[in-house]
Amino acid sequence: MTTSGLSIPSLMKSFVNSVVRWASKKAGGSSRNRKGHAPGKRRGIKAQDGTEVTQSSILLRQLNIRCHPGLNVGIGKDGSLYALQPGKVFITCEKFQPNFEKYWTDRVYGSRKDNMANIYKKYFNVIPKPLEPKFRLVDTV
């Protein structure tokens, strides 16, 4: 049977070829876009023992309070230690005597108030440079 010169099998073949779609993409499965790792926070000691520092220099960045501020050293709200005066850094290990009136001490050591005997911690100290003696003679009248 042909209608206008086309047979039914040829019509079916052309219809099937126009409807069928072939996969042009890879099937689902393993993804190649994997999540990368977050960059580090750059925590740690920034000024070693014996180095000269200026005022407000960062000495240490820490997540938990592991090292404590000593002489001429302040502590930031994120736990970082910084120099209050220019001078030389000294890192010492001293017996820990907590002051529970300070917010960060109570927050970190509040649960161990009764059991604080013989605990030694690392302290950062900044020893300022000695001032040069400058004397000027004052004329007496």
For 23-60, give the DSSP string: --SPPS---S-PPPPPPP---EESS-TT-EE-TT-EEE
Give the domain extent around 104: 44-128
Which residues are registered as beta bridge partners of 53?
87
Residue 59 placed within a domain:
yes
Model confidence, pTM:
0.68
Residue 59, domain CATH: 2.40.50.100
How would you label 101-127 residue by residue, b for 16+ Cβ within 10 Å and e otherwise?
eeeebeebbeeeeeeeeeeebebbbbe
DSSP tally for the chain: helices H, then strands E = 2, 10
Residue 13 placed within a domain:
no
Residue 73 placed within a domain:
yes
Residue 25 placed within a domain:
no
List helix spans (H) across the chain: 8-19, 103-109
CB count within 10 Å of CB 9 equals 9
Residue 14 placed within a domain:
no
> Does residue 10 or residue 40 have the better pLDDT?
40
Instruction: Provide the pLDDT for residue 101.
Output: 87
Average pLDDT, stretch 6-15?
A: 65
pLDDT-derived band at 29, boundaries 50, 70, 90: low
Residue 2 placed within a domain:
no
Residue 37 placed within a domain:
no
- Range scoring the smallest mean pLDDT among 76-90, 93-107, 121-135: 93-107
Q: Write the pLDDT tens digit of every residue in 35-58.
A: 888 999 999 999 999 999 999 999
Total number of domains in the chain: 1
Amino acid identity, position 45: I
- Give the separation between CA 70 and CA 81, rounded to whole angstroms: 9
Whether the Cβ atoms of residue 80 and residue 124 lie closer than 8 Å to each other: no
Query: What is residue 80's three-state secondary structure?
Result: coil
Residue 139 placed within a domain:
no
